Amino acid sequence: MTDNTLNLYCYSITNMTNLKLRFKPVSFSWVALHPQPKGVIQFIGGAFFGTFGPMFFYRHLLECLFKQGYTIILLPFNFTFDHYAESGFLIREQYKLMPELVRMAEVAGYEYKTYLDDSNFSWIGHSIGCKYIALLESFSALPKKTEQLEAFIEEIVKQTSGNLSPEKQAKKVQSIVNDLENLRRDLENQSAKAKKLTSYYVNQDVDQSQTYFDESNVKINSIFIKSQASLLLAPVNTGLDSAIKPKALADFIIRLGFNVKPTPAETEALIENSHLFNLLGLVYFPLDNIGKSTREWFFNQLKKPPEDFRIKLKGGHLRPLGLRLGNIVFNFPDTFSVPPIESVNQRNAEFEVYVVKLLNYLEQKRQDQKKK
C-alpha cells in the first residue's frame, strides 16, 4: 500500500463523523443499521470478549467498519464444546436476520436492496470465533447424497481418529452425518422462510413499484456461506487443552470422553477437503502465540489465503480490541508493542486501515468471480 493510498484510507475512516454506531437487539444478535449499506458484516469475537460485552471491547473496530458503509451484525459467542452446533446457530441467525434487516430499513427509510442478496453478507471473526466461520465455509462443500456424505466424513474420521476402534469410528461417523443432515434440512427450511418473509416485507414498501416482488428474487446462493467473504483476525483452532489449564486436567477430561467437536485435527481436515476458502483474508500478529500454530497451518499446509490477502501487523492476540473516547483509543494490549492508549489516527493507521483494505480486496475479488 502506498503512502497516498494509506492516507486516503485513514482520512476516510476518521472523517465520517456524522454516522453514529447504535446497536439494537434483534433475535439473539445486535444490529447497527447503516442508512446506505454497501454490505453487511457479521462479526463474532473471541471466547471471553465475544461473550461479555463484545460491543464494548471491539467498539472502535466496529465503528470504523460502520462508517465505511457496512451494516453490522454483532453475533454472540456462546461457549460450548459442540462447535458444529454453534456454527449452525450462526447461519440460522443469518436467515432470521435477513428479512428483519429489510423490515427495519423500510421503517427507518433506509436503503435495503443490499439485503436481498446473501453474497453481500460477509464475515469477520477474531480468535476462536474464526473457527465457527471456517466450519461454515467447509460445510458448503459437503456432498448432498447420504452415501457420499458418509464416505466424506468416514475419510476425515480415519485421518484424525486412528486411535479409535472400527466400531467407535463407525459410531462417530454416523453421529456426525446425522447432525449435518439435520442441520442441512433445517437450513433449507430456514432459507425458504427467509426468502418468503423478505419478499413480503419488500412488497409492503409503499415506494416500491407496482410490480410484485417474488421470493425468487431474493438471492440465497448457498445454504451455508460459499459465496460470502471471510476475514479472520488472529484465528485460533485449538482444542480443550487450550481452554482448560493445566494440560493434565484437560487430558484427563478428554480421556473421559469430553472434547470439542470437531477437534482441531478434524477441523483442519474439513477445511482442507472442502477445496474452498477462495474469498478469505487473514490478519495476523507475529507476537500472537495463541494463534501461531493456526496461522502457520493456513500458510504452510493449506497455502491460503494468497499473499495479497494476508497482512502481518504489530501487536499480539488482543490487537483487534479497542474503545474510542474522543480522539483517543484505549487498547487492551497483551504485548509491549502496542500502547494502552493511542490517538485515533495512529490506531487507524496501524490496524483498521488494513482491515478495510482487505475487505475492499475481497469485495473486488467477489465481483470478479461473479463475472465469470
Q: pLDDT tens for residues 167-225?
A: 999 999 999 999 999 999 999 999 999 999 999 999 988 666 667 788 889 999 999 99
The band of 370, judged by pLDDT with boundaries at 50, 70 and 90, is: confident
Q: In the structure, how many helices (H) and strands (E) does the chain have?
A: 13, 11
Q: What is the CATH number of domain 3-143+222-371?
A: 3.40.50.1820
Q: What is the pLDDT of residues 239-254, one digit of tens each?
A: 776 666 566 776 777 7
The residue type at 254: I
Mean pLDDT of 37-52: 92
Q: Is the pLDDT of residue 14 over 60?
A: no
Bigger pLDDT: 248 or 67? 67
Percentage of the chain exceeding pLDDT 90? 74
Q: Is the pLDDT of residue 354 over 80?
A: yes
Q: Is the Cα torsion angle 288, 289, 294, 298 positive or negative in sign?
A: positive
The residue type at 318: L
pLDDT of residue 4: 47
Q: Where are the domains of the chain?
A: 3-143+222-371
Q: Is the pLDDT of residue 3 over 50?
A: no
pLDDT of residue 244: 65
Instruction: Kindly give the residue spans of alpha helices, DSSP state H, lying in the chain.
Output: 3-14, 54-57, 59-67, 83-108, 129-139, 146-160, 166-203, 240-243, 247-255, 264-274, 292-296, 344-347, 353-371
Report the distance separating Cα 6 and Cα 353, nearest Å.
7
Three-class SS state of 280 = strand
Mean pLDDT of 258-262: 83
pLDDT of residue 113: 95
- What value does the mean pLDDT of the chain take? 90
Among 8-17, 77-86, 277-286, the range with the most confident prediction by mean pLDDT is 277-286
